[in-house]
Amino acid sequence: MSHTLIIGLGNPILTDDGVGVQVARAVEDALPPHLRDEVRVTEAAVGGLRLMEMMAGYRRVILIDAMLGPDPAGTLRRLTLPELETISPTQHSASAHDASLITALEAGRRMGLPLPDDIVIYAIAAENVVDFGEQPTPAVAQAIPRAVEAVINEIVHSS
């Protein structure tokens, strides 16, 4: 299996929904040179089965996404898959038109796909994911540097 895949999830023209993409782009710019060959950074606006397919062949995946829920806007949470199962899903890990990420991963494993055992989600509580706009709300924008630092630390300390 390859090394690490970072996926920034979201739609960059829907205000806070694009925060995962913005964080992923900033992480890519901030990656230490010695890790650039080991880490692939990409972005996506998919969930469930398509997201699971993107993960095939990687040892570790870090997802970054907006999350709707009870936390104040801008709250950054680090979640594992079991924790994701117990709370509201992030914006792109579940869809009414697709299987949830948890279900898709279970199906992929049953089919024998080479899926990572190490999957971490960095979720940023969103305020607005419906209005068109390329800039996040102020609270979410303030969370971006913290999220970038957290993802970089995750990569550096587990490499």
CATH (domain of 91): 3.40.50.1450
Helix (H, G, I), strand (E, B) or coil at 35: helix
CA angle at residue 156 from 11 to 66, to 5 degrees? 20
Select from 124, 120, 119 the least CA-distant residue to 77.
124
43 beta partners: 8
In one letter, which amino acid is 75?
T
User: Residue 36 carries which DSSP code?
Assistant: T
* pLDDT the model gives residue 1: 47
pLDDT reported for residue 158: 76
Strand 2-9 and strand 118-125: pairing? unpaired
* Sign of the C-alpha dihedral computed for residues 134, 136, 141 and 143 taken in this order: negative
Phi, psi values for residue 153, rounded to 5°: -60, -40
Number of domain units in the chain: 1
- For the chain, the straight-line distance linking the first and the last C-alpha, in angstroms and rounded, comes to 14
Residue 31: its pLDDT value, please? 93
Sheet with strand 118-125: strands edge to edge: 39-44, 2-9, 58-67, 118-125, 76-80
- Residue bearing tokens 């898709």: 104
pLDDT per residue, tens digit, the chain (159 aa), is 459 999 999 999 999 999 999 999 999 999 989 888 899 999 998 888 899 999 999 999 999 999 988 899 999 999 998 887 777 555 555 554 567 888 888 889 999 999 999 999 999 999 999 899 999 999 999 999 999 999 999 998 876
* Domain that residue 153 falls in: 2-158
